[in-house]
């Protein structure tokens, strides 16, 4: 690439900016000739959507701090930068093959990795808490009692969604938007290996028995199922609706009691349920018999595509968001049909929904991405219990069975630095925290017993703030690089009340 650079600099700018040509000369060696990524991320519209306000041409011209992305402003004219930006923003001419062979070929196992007989550190293994740091693509492994950082490991570029722990909490799996799945051994504090399960992926889910990890893909239109043991490919299933329509998978969820994965389909009015064991259970009972075997699929036909699911704690029902983002649709998973509708204007973010018991009733709460409010819903009769006004639209909610409070961030707008603390009984905001004026303050996780609540200052020179979850006083600030989600082993593997799944 250096030689190519010299040639270009010596001969001046390209005569007629040819984005594709410039890409091949300057970008392909890191981002791949087919734009599917290499040492740099994939440069395709599906991946670039996440830039969230950062300008693509700005990144090409000025580079990216703390990455290997150089600044091209001295090599390329403004028109040439725009031409490359336009080229990488254009859809791929064809969806690349990414089947069993390609996925298997991408697997890289860590050479010097050896399992250990016991953890290489002293700590309560159930109180380990991971912090995903998206600023420089790392995960910090915290001792949840002392908040000491036990390890900080590099992840693939742009991790999204919650990492998933094995049922015993010993291993964790992390997924990036470019479809890489990384397996990490918490006892050994070492990466075990990684594999690219999709070209552009959404999230992952662990089967109830811990044997399988499902990866929801946008590109190609598939669900990849990996063996958690050695990351081999167990299944790549194409997603085709009954009318022949191919669909992206918006998300995959684990339904532990049903021993199944539940899939939200982006482009088809169907919900899929895929079994993860042959045993009897709600999934096996509800299955129509159209397919048999461990990954048997069941289709649940709905009126329109539904996205972003909240599940009742028994995984018997889900609420999905309508495409218009103005209502929630309740689906009974056993009956396999829609049973209710709820008015939820302002784009509910049901995936962040949490549930708890209030005055003998099961309730859930969801933030809305386009309105400053939280809807609290009775999950028996699907009535709206209360709409809580907030200082702006929020993204994440969290509570814990031992806490009196729900914590809700204000992710968007001028009050993005605020964090509301809400009483679970009165549904009143009891305190609004403002720990880092002007900075985004978001996402909450509790430690195992609910004693502390951990909150992110979501900035490159950010921090995780540890609060006493009862007094709401700050206890500690741990410097972190744009910390996003935090995940406590115990809360996740026990499906703690108050965590979104
Ligand atoms: Fe997420 C979880 C979808 C944008 C950070 N996000 C999820 C999940 C889904 C989802 C389906 C649940 C997966 C799981 O944990 O298994 N996210 C979407 C979108 O559709 C949306 C709105 C648009 C998109 O770009 O895909 C979106 N998400 C974002 C962001 O812009 C965030 C704030 C920054 C980022 O990293 O991209 C973001 N999403 C997160 C985080 C979680 C998440 C931190 C895990 C939350 C948890 O506590 O479990």
pLDDT at 46: 83
User: Which one of 351, 367, 443, 500 would you pick to mutate in the ligand 1 pocket, going by the greatest count of ligand atoms within 8 A of its CB?
Assistant: 351
Q: How confident is the model at residue 10 (pLDDT cuts 50, 70, 90)?
A: very low
Distance 282 CA to ligand 1 centre (A): 28
Structure-token pair, residue 383: 């009535």
Structure-token pair, residue 446: 């509790």
50: pLDDT strictly greater than 70 = no
pLDDT at 7: 37
Q: How confident is the model at residue 9 (pLDDT cuts 50, 70, 90)?
A: very low
Structure-token pair, residue 206: 């662990």
Q: How confident is the model at residue 314 (pLDDT cuts 50, 70, 90)?
A: very high
Q: What is the mean pLDDT of residues 122-148?
A: 97
Nearest atom of ligand 1 to the alpha carbon of 445: 48
Distance 48 CA to ligand 1 centre (A): 15
Distance 308 CA to ligand 1 centre (A): 10
Q: What is the mean pLDDT of residues 301-316?
A: 96
Cβ–Cβ under 8 Å, residues 386 and 352? no
Q: How confident is the model at residue 96 (pLDDT cuts 50, 70, 90)?
A: confident
Distance 413 CA to ligand 1 centre (A): 18
Name the one residue in this structure whose structure tokens are 């199944």.
Answer: 260
Residue nearest to atom 42 of ligand 1 (CA): 161
pLDDT at 281: 63
Residue nearest to atom 44 of ligand 1 (CA): 485
In 63-125, alpha helices (H): 78-89, 100-106
Instruction: Quote the CA–CA distance of 306 and 298 in Å, as a whole number.
Output: 16
Residue nearest to atom 24 of ligand 1 (CA): 50
Instruction: Quote the CA–CA distance of 156 and 244 in Å, as a whole number.
Output: 34
Name the one residue in this structure whose structure tokens are 């961030």.
Answer: 409
Name the one residue in this structure whose structure tokens are 């989600």.
Answer: 485
Nearest atom of ligand 1 to the alpha carbon of 349: 22
450: pLDDT strictly greater than 90 = yes
Please give the share of the chain, as a percent, with pLDDT higher than 70.
94
Mean pLDDT of the chain: 92
Q: How confident is the model at residue 311 (pLDDT cuts 50, 70, 90)?
A: very high
Instruction: Quote the CA–CA distance of 232 and 210 in Å, as a whole number.
Output: 14
Residues 6 or more apart whose Cβ sits within 8 Å of residue 267? 241, 245, 246, 247, 248, 305
Residues 6 or more apart whose Cβ sits within 8 Å of residue 445? 129, 398, 453, 454, 485, 486, 487, 488, 491, 499
Nearest atom of ligand 1 to the alpha carbon of 264: 11
Distance 352 CA to ligand 1 centre (A): 9
190: pLDDT strictly greater than 80 = yes
Q: Which residue has the higher pLDDT, 427 or 29?
A: 427
* Ranges 126-135, 242-251, 492-501: which has the least confidence: 492-501
Q: Which residue has the higher pLDDT, 166 or 7?
A: 166
Homologous superfamily of domain range 19-89? Cytochrome c-like domain (1.10.760.10)
pLDDT at 38: 84
Instruction: Quote the CA–CA distance of 173 and 179 in Å, as a whole number.
Output: 12
Distance 150 CA to ligand 1 centre (A): 26
pLDDT digits (tens, 9 = 90+) for 233-276: 999 999 999 999 999 999 999 999 999 999 999 999 999 999 99
Q: How confident is the model at residue 473 (pLDDT cuts 50, 70, 90)?
A: very high
Q: What is the mean pLDDT of residues 447-469?
A: 98
**Ligand 1: lining residues by beta carbon, under 6 Å:** 49-50, 52, 134, 160-162, 202-203, 251, 351, 395, 443, 484-485, 500
pLDDT at 15: 54
pLDDT at 371: 97
Structure-token pair, residue 355: 């549930």
pLDDT digits (tens, 9 = 90+) for 354-388: 999 999 999 999 999 999 999 999 999 999 999 99
Distance 77 CA to ligand 1 centre (A): 36
Residue nearest to atom 43 of ligand 1 (CA): 161
Name the one residue in this structure whose structure tokens are 């096996």.
Answer: 284
Instruction: Quote the CA–CA distance of 56 and 249 in Å, as a whole number.
Output: 26
pLDDT at 159: 97
pLDDT at 289: 62
Q: What is the mean pLDDT of residues 106-125?
A: 97
């Amino acid at each position: 690439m250096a030689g190519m650079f010299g040639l270009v600099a010596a001969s001046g700018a390209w005569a007629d900016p040819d984005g594709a040509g410039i890409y091949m000369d300057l970008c392909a060696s890191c981002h791949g000739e087919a734009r599917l990524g290499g040492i740099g991320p994939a440069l395709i519209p599906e991946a670039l959507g996440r830039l969230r306000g950062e300008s693509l041409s700005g990144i090409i011209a000025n580079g990216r701090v703390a990455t290997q992305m150089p600044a091209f402003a001295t090599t390329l004219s403004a028109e040439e930068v725009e031409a490359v930006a336009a080229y990488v923003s254009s859809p791929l001419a064809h969806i690349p093959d990414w089947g069993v062979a390609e996925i298997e070929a991408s697997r890289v196992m860590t050479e010097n990795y050896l399992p250990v007989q016991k953890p290489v550190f002293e700590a309560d293994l159930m109180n380990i808490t991971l912090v995903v740091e998206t600023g420089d693509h790392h995960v910090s492994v915290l001792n949840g009692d002392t908040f000491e950082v036990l390890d900080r490991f590099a992840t693939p570029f742009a991790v999204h969604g919650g990492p998933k722990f094995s049922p015993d909490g010993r291993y964790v799996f992390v997924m990036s938007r470019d479809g890489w799945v990384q397996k990490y051994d918490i006892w050994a504090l070492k990466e075990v290996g990684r594999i690219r399960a999709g070209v552009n992926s959404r999230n992952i889910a662990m089967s109830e028995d811990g044997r399988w990890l499902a990866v929801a893909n946008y590109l190609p239109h598939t669900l990849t199922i990996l063996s958690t043991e050695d990351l081999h490919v167990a299944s790549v299933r194409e997603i085709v609706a009954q009318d022949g329509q191919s669909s992206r998978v918006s998300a995959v969820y684990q339904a532990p009691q049903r021993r199944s994965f539940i899939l939200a389909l982006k482009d088809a009015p169907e919900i899929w349920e895929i079994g993860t064991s042959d045993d009897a259970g709600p999934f096996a009972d509800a299955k129509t018999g159209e397919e048999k075997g461990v990954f048997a699929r069941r289709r649940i036909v709905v009126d329109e595509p539904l996205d972003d699911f909240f599940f009742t704690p028994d995984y018997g029902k889900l609420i999905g968001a309508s495409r218009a983002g103005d209502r929630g649709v309740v689906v009974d998973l056993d009956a396999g049909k829609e049973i209710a509708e709820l008015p939820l204007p302002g784009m509910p973010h049901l995936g962040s929904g949490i549930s708890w018991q209030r005055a003998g009733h099961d309730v859930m709460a969801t933030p809305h991405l386009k309105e400053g409010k939280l809807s609290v819903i009775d999950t028996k009769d699907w009535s709206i219990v209360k709409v809580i006004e907030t200082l702006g639209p929020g993204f994440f909610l969290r509570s814990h069975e031992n806490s009196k409070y729900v914590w809700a961030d204000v992710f968007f707008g001028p009050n993005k630095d605020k964090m509301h603390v809400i009483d679970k009984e009165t549904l009143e905001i009891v305190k609004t925290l403002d720990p880092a004026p002007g900075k985004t303050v978001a996402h909450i996780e509790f430690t195992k017993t609910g004693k502390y609540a951990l909150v992110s200052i979501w900035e490159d020179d950010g921090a995780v703030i540890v609060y006493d979850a009862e007094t709401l006083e700050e206890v500690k600030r741990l410097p972190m690089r744009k910390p996003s989600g935090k995940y406590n082993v115990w809360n996740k593997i026990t499906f703690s009340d108050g965590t979104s799944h």
